[in-house]
Structures are given as structure tokens and as C-alpha cells.
Homo-oligomer: A and B are copies of this chain.
Amino acid sequence: MTGEGRARFERIYALLRSRICLLDYPPGVRLREEDLAKEFETSRTPIRRVLARLEDEGYLRSVHGVGTIVTDIDIASLEQVYRLRVELSELIGKLSPVTPDEEAADLFGAMRARCEALAKSPNQRAFAQLNMDFFHLLMTLTENEPLQEFSERLYYQTTRIWLKTAAGLDGYEDTLASEIDFFLREVSDIATAVACGALETVGQIRRAHVAMSFARLKARARGDALPEDS
């Protein structure tokens, strides 16, 4: 696969994966190849090429005679994914870190501003998008491509499930504002560390926040009350 067809493939792939992560296609939803083919003005063949990759990466599950279903994950499997994600988070500052220039620091500052604005008027969709944008900005801090690729996989797999509870899709209506507040702290801390050029610190902060994020997720799943922030 090469040339123009390759570009189309990447476009469709990135778009569908984004839809899955942003919960436009929530877990359990059934996609139909014919519909997607019509939307992207092509035949089923190239669509199937994209769906195959999404299936290999664990976002979808195609069942013969039934359909292509967006996967859900049980808390046990999610724990394994999160544990690895915690470890990889720290590596951002260790493996081929790029020394951030002033422009990078500004980008992180802009991210903090967006986050502060969001905290004033919480919005699920905007939060999901901001979270994703911030992740991709973080990834620019390392040049290690395999690390980028694996981190992306773990991010997309865990974040959409986490968003499901944070956004109230699983019966938790009050968590969104709280999660935005936690996220604002993370963005703020990391932006400061980036401004100082302390990339190892960035990795450690990120690691801590990913771990806490999962702890809150588990607490909600158990039905516990969230610890009040002080």
C-alpha cells in the first residue's frame, strides 16, 4: 500500500479511532461496513482494511454474520493496561527526550489556558478533545517512535473507558467537573515543568496523575465516595 491510497487509509483510520476515543462510537455500538463505505465514498474493501487494523489493535471486534462492534473492557483487563501505561508514562522524560524550546512552552501554556476556560464551563465533549490534544502535545516531548506508538495504543484504550465514567455514561453525573479540576492541576504542573525544561519531572508528574486517575476510576467502579480534594 502506497501513495494516495495510503493517505486515505491513514485519514479514515485516525478519524474512526478518534470517534471511538471521543465516544462518538461508544462501546457496544455496531458499525456497518456498507455505511462507512458510503460515507467515505469508496467500496467495502478499503474500509475493511481500516477496520482490520482497528480490530488488531483492540478497538473493534468483527463477528461474522453479526457486525463490527466497538469493544468494551472489564475492569480486570483495564488494570493490566493501566499498570503498563503508568510505567510507560515516565519513560517520556527518559527515552530520547527533546529539549523544549520556547514555542513548546507556549503550547503548554495555551493548553493550560484552554483548561482553565473549560473548568469554568464544563463540557464533556470539549473535555474529551482537550484531553486528547494534551496527550498528543506530550508525545512531542520524545522522539522515540515505538514509545509514541505504544503510548498511543494504551492512551486510546484506557481513556475512552475512563471518559465513559467521568462523563456520566455509566451513572456518574457529578464526576465531570471534578475530573476537569484534577486535569487542570496536571496540565498546570506539567506546563510549569516544561517551562523549566525539566523533562524527567514531566514524566514523573504524568506517571503520578495516570496512576491517580486509575485509582479514582476503580473507586467509582466500586461505588465508593470520591475523596474530597483539599
Q: Please determine whether B77 and A96 come into contact, CB atoms closer than 8 angstroms.
A: no
Known: A84-B91, A87-B95, A91-B87. A1 touches B64 (CB 8 A): yes
- Least CB separation from A87: chain B residue: B91
Q: Please determine whether A55 and B1 come into contact, CB atoms closer than 8 angstroms.
A: yes
Is A11 interfacial (CB 8 A cutoff)? no
Q: Please determine whether A145 and B80 come into contact, CB atoms closer than 8 angstroms.
A: yes
- Contact count band on A: 20 to 34
Complex-state Cα separation, A84 to B95, whole angstroms: 8
Complex-state Cα separation, A52 to B49, whole angstroms: 7
Q: Please determine whether B49 and A146 come into contact, CB atoms closer than 8 angstroms.
A: no
Is A40 interfacial (CB 8 A cutoff)? no
Known: A87-B91, A95-B84, A95-B87. A64 touches B2 (CB 8 A): yes
Is A175 interfacial (CB 8 A cutoff)? no
Is A101 interfacial (CB 8 A cutoff)? no
Is A56 interfacial (CB 8 A cutoff)? yes
Q: Please determine whether B84 and A146 come into contact, CB atoms closer than 8 angstroms.
A: yes
Q: Please determine whether B144 and A80 come into contact, CB atoms closer than 8 angstroms.
A: yes
Query: What are the residues of chain B within 8 A of A53 when measuring CB–CB?
Result: 52-53, 56
A207 CB → nearest B CB, Å: 13
Q: Please determine whether A77 and B2 come into contact, CB atoms closer than 8 angstroms.
A: no
- A residues 1-33 touching B (CB-CB < 8 Å): 1-3, 5
Q: Convert A113-145 into 0s and 1s, putting 1 for each residue whose CB lies closer than 8 angstroms to a CB of B.
A: 000000000000000000000000000000111
Query: What are the residues of chain B within 8 A of A55 when measuring CB–CB?
Result: 1
Known A49-B52, A80-B143, A80-B147; further 16 A-B contacts with Cβ < 8 A:
A1-B52, A1-B55, A1-B64, A2-B63, A2-B64, A5-B64, A53-B53, A77-B145, A80-B95, A80-B144, A80-B146, A83-B96, A87-B87, A87-B94, A87-B95, A146-B154
19 A-B Cβ contacts within 8 A? A1-B52, A1-B55, A1-B62, A2-B63, A5-B64, A52-B53, A53-B56, A77-B145, A80-B96, A80-B146, A83-B144, A84-B91, A84-B95, A84-B146, A87-B91, A87-B94, A87-B95, A146-B154, A150-B150
